[in-house]
Structure 1
Amino acid sequence: MSESNKTDFTNPSTFILVGIPGLETAHVWISIPFCIMYTTAILGNFAILFIVKRELSLHEPMYYFLCMLAVTDLVLSTSIVPKTLSIFWFNSREIDFIACLIQMYFIHCFLVVESGIFMAMAFDRYVAICHPLRHSTILTNAVVARFGLAMVLRGAVVIVPYAVVARQWPYCSSNIIPHTHCEHMAVVKLACANTRISSYYGLFVLFGVKGLDVIFIVVSYTQIVRAIFRLPTKDARLKTFGTCGSHLCAIFVFYISSLFSSLTHRYGHNVPLYFHIFIANVYLLVPPVLNPIIYGVRTRQIRDRMLHFFVFQAS
């Protein structure tokens, strides 16, 4: 380790991102699935945006929320993968201190935004199934736009303390981050101070913000299930519940990976470090990859439009 990484400092100009500790020799091989996943996420989410924009029949609240989810996934994956690949391919490990805080802010801000979008999508499904005759009057384009703006503003405001507090901590012994990106707790752990406030605030965001979203989603789907079981025939119940299938799959992928990553990073002291880093990357990369696949495969309207577009292009 160089002397520059050992000397005392309180305001480091740069951090050093290690990548995946213990697996440095395999970085080139690990970069292959990372690159494939990132390419898939970019193509899949842009395809969703293109199809919805092109097809006037898809200009409905459900698909507007899906477009918001696609944009959020594009920002999330682009916030981490280019720098991660530069570490794997070119050993470009340095990141400016302010750039690190900005990356941290964007990652966690848009994770909160994505959670809010899932909550808004659950509300859309609740209104569509429980109050179908009022759906068009309740969820107008203006209401959908306000929902989206509110979710972005909430994420932007809630995550400000992450960066502000992290910037104030003294980093007095090391600027080496054993991670592929500037994850909040990975940065805070380098501080030479009692950082419980950062840890507690992170838990507040996890349970107090995302947790409330989950509660709202559970309440919405409880009402949806009750409405479905009141339908007269089995076919009607299956068809109605089928409209929620893609949303439920995306929710499980996002929240289960989020909870597992957050709790493992804080309390999995006996878990190998490379496993922590791997899970953190899976948590950020898998939802952007799977969301367009889930909605493309399970949502008939999008699947039909995609097939029609590619068949038309091929002919």
Structure 2
Amino acid sequence: GSTVSTLGSGARYAGRSVRAKAARGSTRSSSSSSSSMEVDLPPTAALDQQDLLGGQLKRRREAEQECRRLEGENLKLRGSLGDLEAMVAVLEEENAQFEAERERLEGEIEALREQKDEAVAGAGALKKKVEGAYLVARKEAERAVAKAAAAERREEKSAADREARLARRRIAELEAELCRQREDHHAASAALVEQADQAAREELELRVTATSKTSEAATRAASESANAVIRVVAEQREVRRAAAKMRTQAQAAEKVVHGMRKQIEELQAENKDLQRRTRSREEDLFRAAREAEERDRAAAEERD
């Protein structure tokens, strides 16, 4: 718009300059012609009146030619001025169109800016929503991990408890078997001792009754008594052998019981170590969860 107005002003100034020059030329020619008619002849004798008139006519023709030339230039400038004015009108119309287009583009830019602000706000809301969903999913995953760890600990503890119960049951069975064997051993030993005593009493009774008999009968009785004593000694030896065997079995049973008790102690130690490692693992998980929560809180504060 400023360029078009400058062009219009320049064209109008050029037209006024041409018209002023033409007016000055015509005025100069008319004044020179009138003055040539009114002035007197110079006092010098070297120039005559004809030379003066010829010079005046020549200058007049030159002035008229100059005036016609200037008028032609004036007409050309007027035509150029009309063209420039038409061009100025066209440029002003285009300028108005450009102004309307600029206003339309500014409106579109403002609408796009509003859409951008809405998109930024929506992106922020979506980011917060995604972060919230991530935190919820993370907490659910941590709860699931803790639940799985607790289930694993319960399962390990229940397995250890089952093994301990089985070991205690086996020890009770072995102790019951050992008690039964001891009772059987004592009963067998008592029965053998009772039989030996009964045989000895019978032998003594026979020996007492045989004193009144003859020597042959005494010899036979003595022989039978000796045989009986031999049998009693052999039976006692068998009883001692059976008792030794029972003692050996009892010692073996005691060794088995001792081994089972040692296994129970080892199982209890393993159970304690498992509980200690379980507590340590729980503390590590709790510490890791707390550190992750602190990192998430710090990251959220940095984003805010």
TM range (shorter): under 0.3
Q: TM-score of the superposition, structure 2-length normalised?
A: 0.23
Q: TM-score of the superposition, structure 1-length normalised?
A: 0.22
Please state which structure has a larger fraction of its residues in helix. 2
